[in-house]
Chain A
Amino acid sequence: MTALAGSSGGCSGSASEERVRLRTKVALHGSPTFDNALGWHVELDGAWLSIGSLRLLEGAPLGLRAPRSLLDLLVKTAHAHPGHYHEGAVLAEMLSPQSVDLLETTELDVAEAVTGAPLSGQLVLTSPAIGAHAELLDEAVVRLEGVARPTDPDVDDEPRRFVATASVAELGSSMGTVEITGCPYDGGPIRAAGTMLLGVDVALWLDQVDFTGIAPKASAVSLSTDTRAHNGFLRGLAKAAAYRFDLQSDP
């Protein structure tokens, strides 16, 4: 089966597969203001992420979904469930680390790719961060700043200004990187040069965060580690569904 050979370089593809190059862009998926599941309206002032690499993979994402197309039913797929995940061959990869501001669209390095039909994406977060926002992120791989207010107008509660950060260690890794695999891929087959898009759904990161425990102060308060709110944030970061990959063909 065709594959980029990953970090080892080279290509083991068949003659029918062609190498192509994809531009790569990262942006926020959705709005920077949203309501979460626990009754808080959140307005983001800033969202930064330390990206190590991005990949498109043959393996189907975990989780039930309806087939998107006839091709989806016919293509060979890898088979996955907990404990038996097969990510399949790498069809595209961008390997240049970069820190990004999610409130604006950032173009990353070019991804090397081969023609084929990806079914999922993979994101690697890396620490320490590199690039324009490295100093702000410091040892963290993600940093959010914003304010949360109760969605219920009858709840007389002060807004919570917050800062939420997470390190690779807090995300369960001791290797300096965190790999999030099996992310949804909404694009079609790679047939020619185009643009690989990553949309980060920050609303999903904060969907299970209860801000009640955050002190209402004029200055921002950090979500403390080992709290319910921070646990909810870490769980959100680990959700593959929060990272939506797509592909745009060149005109």
Chain B
Amino acid sequence: MRENSPFEKCAAPSSLAGSLVACSMLLLSACGADDSGEVRLTTWGEEFIEEGIPAAEFADDFEARFDEFLVVLGHVRARNQEHEFSVADTYLVDLTAPGPHELTTRTLPEGDWSEVEYRIVPIEAETILHPSADADARDRMEAGPYSITVKGEARRGDERYTFDWSFGGTTRYTNCVQVVGGRQEPGFRIGGGGRETVELTIHGDHFFYDDLAGDAALRFEAIADADADGDGDVTLDELAAVSLVDLPADRYGTGNFSGVDDLRAFVEALVSNLGHFNGEGHCLPR
């Protein structure tokens, strides 16, 4: 395990279209530039993950809180027409700890870094353990290996349900844009001598969306009803036993997703939409 490791000054990018040699030359150019600024890389789960999601946010009067929200993220890449920059490392972070969480700070040539992507991945041997997570969390993530584990509770009046779900799989968040004054701006800009924060934002409330497309509301009722054994803990297996055909036709629509026919598959599909950029900014998940 790497408790802490310096970021590579110039991680080798994988070529998009050109040759590796060409990309390496661009990279050297990037690292040798005089006019540069700093990019501070952080991640944050915002108030919904740290403090909980109030009933006012749910359409069915539930409220939810996370006791643990483990995510492995990294493999950040940014590029523009002249340069490419990458951070090869991944981090295991518990987003229920107060954030934003520092990941690293790097020096980059000034300019617009218009193409930005990052990944949420199953934990790797080289994944760096962030101070917000502990060794026990790492062991549990390695047992999968998992990319995300969420543990928490949802309540409505006297009703109380717990959940402890882990997910594997990689989601690549590409073409990230930030929202500035209501406008979408691709990537980020580094001014000469300036310092820019790039936040890999995770939206925990998206776990409870009731649609994979278009307008969606937060709901927990169908998840609560999936508790077949009535023990108050809703498992992924119990979610898998709920066919979407048994839910109201105007909820849990699957849009362009194929093969999402039960509630577990639905929640797993939502996992690919957790990742955001600089708060409310979006990325294109692949």
Contacts and interface: CB of A to CB of B under 8 A. Distances in A.
Nearest to B247: A231
B258 A241 contact: yes
Interface in A190-213: 204, 207-208, 210
A64 B245 contact: no
A220 interface: no
Given A61-B256, A63-B256, A81-B273, A181 B246 contact: no
A240 interface: yes
Tell me whether chain A's interface is mostly helix, strand or loop, or mixed.
loop
Interface string A63-82: 11111001001001101111
Contact of A235 (B214, B216, B249, B284): B249
Interface residues of A, number: 42
B255 interface: yes
A73 B16 contact: yes
Interface residues of B, number: 39
Interface string B248-280: 111001111110010000000110110000000
B213 interface: yes
B223 to A, nearest CB: 16
A82 B211 contact: yes
A50 to B, nearest CB: 19
Contacts of B188: none
Given A62-B255, A82-B273, A228-B245, A240 B213 contact: yes
Contacts of A80: 282, 284
A37 B249 CA distance: 18
A182 B256 contact: yes
Interface in B200-224: 206, 209, 211-216
B244 A208 contact: yes
B249 A85 contact: no
B250 A182 contact: no
Given A65-B286, A82-B206, A235-B244, A70 B17 contact: yes
B177 interface: yes
A234 B256 CA distance: 15
A203 B261 CA distance: 14
A170 B250 CA distance: 9
Contacts of B282: 79-81, 84, 86
Contacts of B235: none
Q: Which of A63, A182, A204, A241 counts the most chain B CB atoms within 10 A?
A: A63
B212 A67 contact: no
Contacts of A171: 249
B36 interface: no
Contacts of B174: 73
A41 interface: no
A120 to B, nearest CB: 8
A171 B174 CA distance: 33
Q: Which of B16, B243, B258, B261 counts the most chain A CB atoms within 10 A?
A: B258
A172 B249 CA distance: 8
Given A85-B213, A183-B256, 5 more contacts: A60-B284, A63-B256, A85-B215, A204-B258, A208-B244
Interface of B: 16-17, 171, 174-175, 177, 184, 186, 206, 209, 211-216, 243-246, 248-250, 253-258, 261, 269-270, 272-273, 282-286
Which 10 A-B pairs rank lowest in CB-CB distance, beginning with the nearest?
A: A79-B282, A82-B216, A63-B256, A81-B273, A240-B256, A234-B249, A61-B256, A232-B245, A62-B255, A63-B257
6 contacts: A66-B286, A171-B249, A183-B256, A231-B245, A239-B254, A239-B256
